[in-house]
A = this chain, B = another copy of it.
Amino acid sequence: METDLDEKRAVTALAALAQETRLALFRLLVQAGPAGLPAGMIAERLAVQPSSLSFHLAQLVHAGLITQRRAGRQLIYSAEYSAMNALLVYLTENCCGRDAISAPLCDPAAGCCPATAAKTPAA
């Protein structure tokens, strides 16, 4: 389902999220669901200047983490869940040397990586 990321795309996505306003913005859209939110409402909720918001929205769009669509005079933004999932998977890829996994959470101490788990004395 989600397209695999190469290193550069992953860096772009992470850089897009590595900023207070954009992280709050992205999470707002993740929580808003596929219906998304118009730019104006986002600006209001995050108390950000329109021009600044536009800048951040563009970064997230460029990173592929959100998408834009028009509804009358408003521009609606919504989270791109597949891109988010691809990023999560990329970060945890081959966790502890295992073969590919699809669900990213990884906890060696709890048996995520049987081969190496014994070497982690609950530290």
Contacts and interface: CB of A to CB of B under 8 A. Distances in A.
Given A24-B7, A34-B96, A96-B33, A17 B91 contact: yes
Contacts of A40: none
Count of chain copies: 2
A110 B85 CA distance: 13
Contacts of A23: 7, 10-11, 14
A90 to B, nearest CB: 8
Interface string A81-118: 11011001111111111000011111111101101110
Interface residues of A, number: 51
A120 B79 CA distance: 12
A27 interface: yes
A54 B7 CA distance: 21
Nearest to A96: B33
Contacts of A112: 81
A41 interface: no
A15 B33 CA distance: 25
A47 interface: no
A35 B116 contact: yes
17 contacts: A11-B18, A11-B19, A11-B20, A14-B14, A18-B18, A27-B91, A30-B91, A30-B94, A32-B97, A33-B97, A34-B119, A34-B120, A81-B106, A81-B108, A88-B91, A103-B103, A103-B105
